[in-house]
Structure 1
Amino acid sequence: MLLHRIRLLVNSRFIMEYEPSPLPSPSGRGSKEKEQEQENQQQYKNNSYPPLPQGEGLGVRAEIAELAGSNRQIPDVLLERARELRKQETPAEKILWECLRNRRLLNKKFRRQHNIDRYIADFYCHEKLLIIEVDGSIHASQQTEDYIRENWLLSHQFTVIRFSNEQIFNDIESVLHTIAQALIP
């Protein structure tokens, strides 16, 4: 019944049709991405980026890249914890991940259990700086920590959306609609 419901959602108006990606390279990325990454690394080594306009710095995007980008520094403890959380996903996270993975929702890339500075976000869209948190029963006893975490994330330009397990189980269409609204500029 649950898989049937997810299949129906995949065909809904909020979720794009699934198109298999090209075969990944041995590093896990497609050839275009790998070529672009190599070109970027070469430009960085040669310091051949075009100069910034007078008086302009890298700004917020550079700070975000340090916190959540692919070249961020992640302590080994947090990296291992994120791997554990990916292996031990909750049923609600599993349902939502089936709807978000492989660019199924508005062709936006989501990551799960993604490290952002000292925190681990349940789901994260780097393009839109959107964090989706799925709250189980444990969050009732850690409201202060959640408040501190959310304020820190908001102060660093991230958008945070929270859903309870019950919302995902009982009204996944509304959850996906809310996420889609946050993804549309």
Structure 2
Amino acid sequence: MNVIDTAIPDVKIIEPQVFGDDRGFFLESFNQTKFNAAVGRDVAFVQDNHSRSQCGVLRGLHYQIQQPQGKLVRVVAGEVFDVAVDLRKSSPTFGHWVGVTLSADNKRQLWVPEGFAHGFLVTSDHAEFLYKTTDFWAPQYERGIVWNDATLAINWPDADVSELLVSGKDAAAQHFASADYFD
């Protein structure tokens, strides 16, 4: 596999080695030993999730202030613009974000460590999104930052804002300035 550093050193793009021919393809989607070497620490995943969303759905920016979740995310159908925002006050990249296109075609994965908010925008007709997490979902600790926060100024792909599909909870999320952060 190929590991690509992003502008935030702890967030990694992972490209699996793909073996393909006229019959289709094969790839190793996860290998614990290789993954730990890629991110430079031992990571244990406890939960796998799968979502399907239509074009224009924007999910996020989500995080858990306690029981924080590291996420290894990928798309197996369609395409999304995936975003990670550093919420670690002690980090030199605190308040910075990274955005990456993940698709069934490019087969890339994104490692979003604990201490980050995460979200994505579906840019294809639909997308199926898979992710592993390092801790269990804990709704009592769930937090959100509004997707269009002016301080973060995330450069989402061109989209008709009136046609974005955002949940009521995500639309009412906190602004970055008043969000809960990690130490």
Bin for the TM-score computed over the shorter chain? under 0.3
Larger Rg: 1
More helix by share: 1
More strand by share: 2
TM-score by length of 2: 0.24
